[in-house]
Structures are given as structure tokens and as C-alpha cells.
A and B are shown apart, each in its own frame.
Chain A
């Protein structure tokens, strides 16, 4: 969690018509607060997180805590007051607006069989992008922007290289992997849905292999298309690359991953 967190008060003081919380998540425990009332909530265009929960003060609720959820297809239009002078019950803390990711993000995730001495794993942390509008809006633009992850040469200095890419709520992904290195490479694409598991290493997440194969040196790249209808939905995609037969790999391995909210 970025700290200090972006302050909605500063946006108001500077005359902005909105507060944009646009930050990398560090864990599933990240939670943000706003002391500013607003007229609408929406998922921002650059969010990897697909669903955000918002808690706000409501006199009509026993605990004064009411809650709503927003996602790329469903924002919330309506005045929500930040009741900083009132207190949630029974916690007895000011009734600020609270926002957090509905999805789990496990920053400590390791693949089963991961060898810390010889393998390498790189995470792309998920972005939480939420917009709080201070002025009335007639409508909200649905959907998130497509995201492209582009690598010219993966830092392949290990037996197995893993790349973790956020995929929350996406309906389509394209993975294009080329091989201009010195050996053939094997790849495996796995979809992961995180769970709250007891052991970080022997994880009990829901994982499914979506594609696997070999890319021959200087031959045609592997093009993998993942769709919601055919493959399901996942929190993260995990791409594993290794030299065929355990060979040490050196050289360009261009990789392009595109994720989209639009169904293929």
C-alpha cells in the first residue's frame, strides 16, 4: 500500500472535480479512506482490480456501515456523504468512506516446486484505480482500458523463469512469445485464482494450465489466445519459460501480453 495514501482533501483544495486513487497494491490488506463526499464512484481506466468495495456511513443501518461494490461495467451514481463527524458502530471510528479491492492479491505466491536457488519469478503488481467524483455526473464510461505488457528480452538467468500478470475480471488475453535465443524454449501458461491457504509454499490456489508448448529458435512465435468462454476467469496469469531439456537460455525472447475487458 502506498503511504501516505493519496489524499482526497488535496484534490478538493486544488479544485479537481474528482479524486483518483491510482496505486499499486502491496497486499490483499490494502484499504484506503476518503474524508470527502462524492456524487459517483467508478473503476478507473487503468485498474487491474476488477471489483472494489466501498463502505460508507448510513444512519439507516444498525452498525451505520453500508457497503456497495463497483466493477468496470457497473459504477455507482448517487451522493455519498463522508460523515467524518459521526462514528461507525461499534468501532467508534469516524464515518469516512473506505475503499478496498474485493479480489485477493497474494504477493507471496510461489508456484509449486519453485526452486529459490535456480528459479526466478517476477510479479507485475495489480493497480487499484478508483475514481470518486465530486460533482454530479450524468453517466459513467464503462470498462477498463486494454493493457499491454511488452518485453524484449526476459531476464532469463535461471532454470525456470516465471512471470505473473494481473488478469482480474478480464475476458480475453493474447500472449505472443518469440524465441531469438540460443536454445529452444518450453512455455506453460497457467490461470490462477488465489485462495486463503495455510501454507505459502504448498499453495492451495485454484490453478489451471491453459496452454503449453515449445518455441523453436528463430521459428514461428507461439500465439496463445485465452477467452472467458473457453478458458474461464482468473486473478492472475502465470507464464513459465524454461530452456528445452534444461538448457541455459541466453538471448532475446520477445514477449507481448495483451489483456482486455472485451470478449474475443
Chain B
């Protein structure tokens, strides 16, 4: 896993980082963990954070339906779901970066999401 130092870098590394998880059959757990932590970070009552939590909801939903049947060495998660996970993670990182740029969330929150990303992927 390549550690990202910025949210933009995290976004651009999404394909490579999630690819490693996908091959190791840990993509379901990683995406679920990421989504859960992001949702816990932001309060639903704060409309400024909705763009970030909306992506987290989609990631959580995608993770929920990922296959759990392991048939090594082939990854169990279908490639279409893997690519969709990459898209969602790529987009949430860019969205959080945008929210921070627009001062709709604090740099502390932005850093927290980056830390969650690096921990999950």
C-alpha cells in the first residue's frame, strides 16, 4: 500500500491501492471499514458534510453486497465491483479535498479522512 500524503494523491492512488486489496481478498473488509469510519466522523445534522457521507453510504452499500465466498487464487469480488469501489474511493477523496478547500470542513477533518484512507487501503 502506497501511503498518500494528500487527499488528491489518495484519490489518484485508489486504483493501485485497492487492486492490492482485491487480489488479497480483503477488499470487502477494507471498504466496509473505510465507509464506517468516515460515516462516524461526520454528523448527519451538518449539511456541509453530506457530499462526503453520501459517497460513504454508497461505498458501504457496495461493500455489503461484495461476495464472501473465497475461491483462491481468483479474487472473489467480481472485477466490476472492484472497479466501482475504485471509482467511489477516488471520488470521495476528491470530494473531501474539495470540501476542505471550500472550508466546509476543517483541515483536521480532511486529515482524519486521509488517515482513515491510509489505514484502510
In this complex, what residue of B is CB-closest to A2?
B102
**Residues B65-105 near A (CB distance < 8 A):** 65, 86-87, 90-98, 102, 104
Contacts of A180-224 to chain B: CB distance below 8 A: 196-200
Q: How far is the CA of A63 from the CA of B36 in the complex (A)?
A: 14
How would residues 28 to 48 of chain B score, 1 for a CB under 8 Å from any chain A CB and 0 otherwise? 000000011001000010011
Residues of A within 8 A of B90 (CB): 28-29, 104, 196
Q: Would you call B15 and A91 a contact (CB within 8 A)? A: no
Instruction: Tell me if A98 counts as interface (CB < 8 A to partner B).
Output: yes
Closest to A102 in B: B87
How many residues on the A side are at the interface (Cβ–Cβ under 8 A)? Answer: 32
A100 contacts partner chain B, Cβ-Cβ < 8 Å: yes
Smallest Cβ-Cβ distance to B15: which chain A residue: A196
Residue in A closest to B57 when the chains form the complex, CB atoms: A91
Cβ-defined contact, B15 with A198, below 8 A: yes
22 A-B residue pairs with CB within 8 Å: A1-B51, A26-B98, A27-B94, A27-B97, A27-B98, A28-B91, A29-B51, A29-B94, A29-B97, A31-B91, A63-B60, A64-B61, A88-B60, A88-B61, A90-B36, A90-B60, A91-B56, A91-B58, A104-B90, A196-B86, A197-B15, A198-B12
Sample of 15 further A-B pairs with CB below 8 A, known A31-B51, A92-B39: A1-B98, A27-B97, A29-B11, A29-B91, A29-B95, A31-B55, A33-B50, A90-B36, A90-B60, A91-B58, A91-B60, A108-B8, A196-B11, A196-B15, A198-B15
Q: Chain B contact residues: over half helix, strand or loop, or mixed? A: helix
Distance, CA A123 to CA B104, complexed state (A): 24
CA of A104 to CA of B86, assembled, Å: 12
Q: Can you list the 9 inter-chain pairs with the closest CB atoms, starting with the nearest?
A: A29-B95, A29-B94, A91-B57, A63-B61, A29-B91, A27-B94, A65-B61, A91-B60, A196-B15
B57 close to A88 (CB less than 8 A): yes
Give the contact-size bracket for chain B. 35 or more
Q: In the bound complex, do residue B104 and residue A93 qualify as a contact, i.e. CB atoms below 8 Å apart?
A: no
CA of A79 to CA of B57, assembled, Å: 23
Interfacial residues, chain B to chain A (CB-CB below 8 A): 2, 8, 11-16, 35-36, 39, 44, 47-48, 50-51, 53-58, 60-61, 64-65, 86-87, 90-98, 102, 104
The CA of A62 and the CA of B63, in the complex, are separated in Å by 12
Q: Are A93 and B61 in contact (CB under 8 A)?
A: no
A42-95 with Cβ < 8 A to chain B = 55, 62-65, 88-94
User: Is A15 in contact with chain B by the CB < 8 A criterion?
Assistant: no
Which residues of A sit under 8 angstroms from B13, Cβ to Cβ?
198
CA A28 to CA B54, docked complex, whole Å: 14
